Amino acid sequence: MNIKLINLVVISGVLAACAPMEPTESVKPKVTEAAEPVRDAGLGVWYGPASLNTVTRGIRDDFLEQFTDTANWPTVYGETAVFKQFIESLGGEKYSDEELKQLATFTREAGLKCAFEIGALRWDPKLYGEGSGVAYAAQEIKVLQRWVKAGGTVDYLSTDHAVMWNVGLCLQGAKPMASYVKDPDWRVVMDEVVDSLAMIHEEFPAAKIGMIESLGYFSVGDTYTTTDPGCIYPIDMEEFLATAQQKLGERGVELDHLHIDFSYQDCRYDGRNEKRLDFGRIMAAEAIVKSLGLDSGIIINAFDDFSYVGSNTVQEKEKAQNAAERSASAVDNTLEYFDGYVAAGGNPDTWIFQRWQPYPDVTGPETVRDTDMGVARLLVNKLKARSKVGTSKVEGP
């Protein structure tokens, strides 16, 4: 997520025509009476389809039906070890209790581990400063408990820019929190995040805890500094992660992973002067993550060219007339991003095929190219080819 998107994201939340392909066989999850199935990590794929409608922020009309029928996504299903969701999808009345139970039962019987991207800390004029971490954790624990009550598991929890989101609220754009918190120190903010995660981990001790932080906030390696130097003071990424490890460790919480969120448009921004995608920031960050002994993950996605203008996304007010063209553009950009990352030497422990962008705006099936499942299928097939040839450069679908 580009650093300059912070105000739009705060307001709108994280954003969650087609050429037919060859038919595929249905693969149904099988469960014995003795135990739930256990999946091999395989290619290391986490699948996070965009379940939220960009306009209403409700669950997409086609999501539950498509996702819980593996005939719609047999290739992706066969290689997915972890199903990832935003905690936002569990809130309010987005799912009825019965629908949530249906989704939880499917994931459990399919042997899918479940990951959630959580806030861990989100400041607003009524909740900020000392004690905000514990207060926010109580809110998110309640939401996650609804999933557990429905029969789901909580296996991974990844914070969604939990430190720098709040620093950005004070320093960037309209600066909505500037009058409440002056000169925010990221270490102080991190203390609140650590309090939050310690409380959440106590409630869900089996869950592995990880982080996502936008690379644009940080100084990474010898070349890359913040992408918004006029507003955000540079923070050394290695120091940031080492500090997070230490502070969490002191509370008995192991930091398991750092998933890199720096998409196609962000790489295009870094390479704007050379008119290319620049993956150098990602490569430097990946090296740091691995040097600290953390699981390194890469989130593979891209906006379409129509929804993304300069450093701002176009917020959807209604379904666009050119939705098919925009879906195709998003798929093209995502595939270009994957190929560029691999060619640059990218070698993560975990591949996260996750979308919050408005397009593709159709969930599936995977036999249709310009759908969420369709682009995930293409990416899985690229990974399969890569694992067979043992090379960093992969061509073809």
For the stretch 354-371, pLDDT in tens is: 999 989 999 999 999 999
**25 has a pLDDT exceeding 70:** no
- 3 state SS of 162: coil
Which pLDDT tens digit goes with each residue over 291-300?
A: 999 999 999 9
With pLDDT > 70 as the criterion, what percentage of the chain qualifies? 84
Domain boundaries, the chain: 3-389
Please enumerate in sequence order all residues whose Cβ is within 8 A of that of 285, keeping only pairs 6 or more positions apart, or say none: 215, 218, 220, 221, 237, 260, 262
pLDDT over 60 (residue 165): yes
Band of the pLDDT at 104, cuts 50, 70, 90?
very high
Please, which pLDDT band fits residue 320 given cuts at 50, 70 and 90? Answer: confident
SS3 103: helix
Residues forming a β-bridge with 220: 224
The phi, psi pair for 244, rounded to 5°, reads -60, -45
pTM of the model: 0.88
To which H or E segment does residue 266 belong?
A: helix 264-270
Cα 355 to chain centroid distance, Å, stands at 7
pLDDT at 27: 41
What architecture does CATH give domain 3-389? Alpha-Beta Barrel (3.20)
**pLDDT band at 306, cuts 50/70/90?**
confident
Give the total residue count for the chain: 397
Q: Where are the beta strands (DSSP E) in the chain?
A: 45-48, 80-86, 113-118, 156-160, 208-212, 218-219, 235-236, 255-260, 295-299, 308-309, 312-313, 350-354
Mean residue pLDDT of the chain comes to 87
- pLDDT confidence band for 315 (50 / 70 / 90): low
pLDDT digits (tens, 9 = 90+) for 28-86: 443 333 344 555 667 899 999 999 987 788 999 999 999 999 999 999 999 999 999 99
